[in-house]
Amino acid sequence: MSTTAEQAVGPDRKGAATRAAILDHAVDLASVEGLEGLTIGRLAADLKMSKSGLFAHFGSKQDLQLATVAAAAERFRAVVVEPALAAPRGAPRLRAMVEGYFDHIELYSGGCFWGATSAEYDDRPGPVRDAIAAALDAWLAALAGNARDAGVADPDRFAFEVYAVVMAANARFRLSGDRRVFDYARDVLARLTAELPA
Amino acid sequence: MSTTAEQAVGPDRKGAATRAAILDHAVDLASVEGLEGLTIGRLAADLKMSKSGLFAHFGSKQDLQLATVAAAAERFRAVVVEPALAAPRGAPRLRAMVEGYFDHIELYSGGCFWGATSAEYDDRPGPVRDAIAAALDAWLAALAGNARDAGVADPDRFAFEVYAVVMAANARFRLSGDRRVFDYARDVLARLTAELPA
Domain positions in chain A: 4-194
pLDDT at A198: 64
**What is d(CA B145, CA B143) in angstroms, rounded to the nearest whole number?**
6
In one-letter notation, the amino acid at residue B100 is G
The architecture of the domain spanning A4-194 is: Orthogonal Bundle (1.10)
pLDDT at A6: 46
Angle of CA points B84, B90, B96, to nearest 5°? 25
Taking 80 as the threshold, does the pLDDT of residue B4 lie above it? no
Which is more confident, B1 or B11?
A: B11
Q: Span A80-105, mean pLDDT?
A: 96
Does B171 contact A118 at a Cβ distance shorter than 8 Å? yes
**What is d(CA A16, CA A4) in angstroms, rounded to the nearest whole number?**
8
C-alpha distances (whole Å) from A108 to each of A135, B136, B157 are 17, 23, 25
Lowest mean pLDDT among A79-93, A153-167, B53-67, B142-156: B53-67
Which is more confident, A18 or B8?
A: A18
> What number is the ipTM of this complex?
0.89
Q: Measured on CA atoms in the order A7, A87, A110, B182, is the torsion positive or negative?
A: positive
Taking 80 as the threshold, does the pLDDT of residue A66 lie above it? yes
**Chain A nearest-CA residue for B173:** A122
**Chain B nearest-CA residue for A35:** B120
**Is residue A195 very low, low, confident or very high in pLDDT (cuts 50, 70, 90)?**
confident
Q: Cα A30 from chain centroid?
A: 11
Q: Span A69-97, mean pLDDT?
A: 96
Which of B35, B101, B113, B122 should be substituted to probe chain A, the one whose Cβ sees the most A Cβ atoms within 10 Å?
A: B122
Does B160 contact A175 at a Cβ distance shorter than 8 Å? no
**Chain A nearest-CA residue for B112:** A119
Is residue B97 within 8 A of residue B76, CB to CB? The reply is no
Residues of A in contact with B132 (CB under 8 A): 175
Name the maximum alpha-carbon separation found in chain A: 57
Q: How many pairs of residues across A and B have Cβ atoms under 8 Å apart? A: 111
Shortest Cα distance, chain A CAs vs residue B166, angstroms: 8
3-state secondary structure of A3: coil
Is residue A101 within 8 A of residue A158, CB to CB? The reply is no
pLDDT at A14: 84
pLDDT at A69: 98
Taking 90 as the threshold, does the pLDDT of residue B196 lie above it? no
Shortest Cα distance, chain B CAs vs residue A173, angstroms: 9
Residues of A in contact with B163 (CB under 8 A): 168, 172
Angle of CA points B174, A163, B75, to nearest 5°? 45
